[in-house]
Amino acid sequence: MKAAVCHAFGEDLVIEEVTLRAPGPGEVEIRMSACAICHSDITYAKGDWGGFLPAVYGHEGAGYVAALGDGVQGLLVGDPVLVTLIRSCGECPNCATGQPARCETGVDRVKGPLTTADGGPLEQGMQTAAFAERVVVDQSQVVKIPADMPMASASLLSCGVITGVGAAINTGRIRPGSSVAVIGAGGVGLNVIQGAAIAGAARIIAVDLEPSKLTAALEFGATDKVLASDTAVDELRTLTGGRGVDTVLVAVGSAAVYQTAPDYLCQGGTLVMVGMPPVGAGVTWEPLNIASLSHSMLGSCMGDTVLARDIPYLVSLYQQGRLKLDQLVSKTWAFEDINLAIADTLAGKARRNVILFDDTGTP
């Protein structure tokens, strides 16, 4: 099969033939239909998070079950499914207590189902490697979806949507009537805003450098917008009567943004960390301020999502018109144009670019 391979950090991906073994016990092979481009894929391909090369990235996907390994239950060949990076062993302390996104069991991604055409090592990026015509993943990474969902829209549920909505609902536990600031109104930030609105926040203030993104934020549920600047904190406090917000969620991977994010909070407020800066980027908060103001700081990886619980819920909201998915797709691209799609994403205007593979129906 063909995959988009990263051979050198910071260079274009190369579409080439690779080898994908058959699914083993507990594994599922999926023919990819759509895979969105997430900034995490780009960050890895740039080398900001390190890793082994060559590698195949891509993790925000949807497709059809092509083959099943021994012991897989609840799926049939031809089923439409989401493919996620949330791999759960089901046995570690976090998995056993209903927190599969925090699974403690590591996986050697270099010894996964992928090899180069000549049999050499090839990393299965983010345990998925969905910039490829097919993938083999653990059954815990797969969840069935309705057959009538557009695959481009459905693919966003695999990461961007669950990361954003989950950060607001699962991690941040935003309360009805509370006040929220969302810093960053890109693809993930818009989903944080949607999650805050679904949770019943009374005031949702979007903060971004780009005016057009702030306009979009209002369409996705924000009640107010603040242009990111030296006066942003003052403007937000004016909007909240000087109090600040109950929850601030950072949806961009910028250490500079994290440095000032606590300034938006009221006493007893909570900072939810969603965006992931490059390795080595740091901030210098004073513990005295955090303690004296009773601030809480929470990391949110993949929105603390439980796939079996959250995906049916989000699909239902989409079907009811209460969760925007179609509107998040900026453009669809052919697989051979993946580098152009990545460049367009880096330009900063796209909500989500989605790669579409040849799709003639179920296998």
Single out the residue of 255, 333, 348, 324 nearest to residue 58, CA to CA: 333
Task: Show the domains of the chain with their CATH numbers.
Answer: 2-158+324-356 (3.90.180.10), 170-301 (3.40.50.720)
Give the whole-angstrom CA distance, residue 295 versus residue 305.
Answer: 24
Tell me what pLDDT residue 359 has: 53
Beta carbons within 10 angstroms of residue 337's beta carbon: 15
Q: What does the pLDDT read at residue 152?
A: 96
| pLDDT on residue 349 | 81
Is residue 84 within 8 Å of residue 159, measured between CB atoms? yes
Residues facing residue 116 across a β-bridge: 18
- How far is residue 199's CA from residue 215's CA, in Å, rounded to a whole number? 21
Query: Stretch 294-320: mean pLDDT, rounded?
Result: 97
Arithmetic mean of pLDDT, 81-96: 96
- The model's pLDDT over 108-131, given as tens digits with 9 standing for 90+, comes to 999 999 999 999 999 999 999 999
Give the C-alpha distances (Å, rounded to integers) separating 29 from 11, 58, 216, 249: 29, 15, 37, 36
Confidence of residue 360 (pLDDT cuts 50, 70, 90): very low
Token code pair at residue 356: 């579409």
C-beta separation of 45 from 57 below 8 A: yes
Closest CA to 28 of 120, 144, 117: 144
Residue 10: pLDDT band with limits 50, 70, 90: very high
CA distance 45 to 101: 23
pLDDT score of 277: 93
* CA dist., res. 155 & res. 165, Å (int): 15
Residue 358 is predicted with a pLDDT of 72
Record the pTM. Answer: 0.94
Please check whether residue 62 is in contact with residue 155, taking contact to mean a CB–CB distance below 8 angstroms: yes
- 362, pLDDT greater than 80: no
Backbone angles phi, psi at 132, to 5 degrees: -160, 160
pLDDT at 336 over 70: yes
Please tell me the predicted confidence (pLDDT) of residue 274. 97
Kindly report the average pLDDT of the chain as a whole number: 96
Helices (H), the chain: 39-46, 93-96, 151-155, 160-166, 187-199, 211-219, 232-239, 255-260, 287-292, 307-319, 338-346
